[in-house]
């Protein structure tokens, strides 16, 4: 499974993701680039700034489509 597909699967399960988590879980050094690819495919992914370990980081979440 590609990093992009693995990240989409993770987010689609209602989980959030930071760059450090993406590195630990998927070996992904460029989460923002993978998120851009997913957005370009039409996925609605939002980022929020959060404090983690005394630093401000981006937290990505997928907005679930209503059916």
CA distances from residue 64 to 13, 26, 45 in whole angstroms, order as listed: 9, 22, 9
Half-sphere exposure of 28 (CA within 13 A, CB side): 22
The residue ranges of every structural domain in the chain are: 3-62
> How do the pLDDT tens digits run along the chain, 67 residues long?
899 999 999 999 999 999 999 999 999 999 999 999 999 999 999 999 999 889 999 999 999 876 6
What is the full DSSP assignment across 27-41? --S-HHHHHHHHHHT
Q: Quick one: tokens of 56?
A: 């401000």
Is CATH 1.10.10 the classification given to domain 3-62? yes
pTM over cut 0.85 = yes
């Amino acid at each position: 499974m590609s990093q992009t597909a693995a990240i989409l699967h993770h987010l689609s399960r209602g989980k959030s993701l930071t760059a450090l988590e993406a590195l630990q879980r998927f070996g992904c050094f460029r989460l923002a680039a993978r998120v851009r690819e997913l957005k370009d495919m039409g996925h609605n992914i939002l980022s929020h700034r959060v404090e983690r370990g005394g630093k401000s980081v981006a937290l990505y979440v997928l907005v679930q489509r209503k059916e």
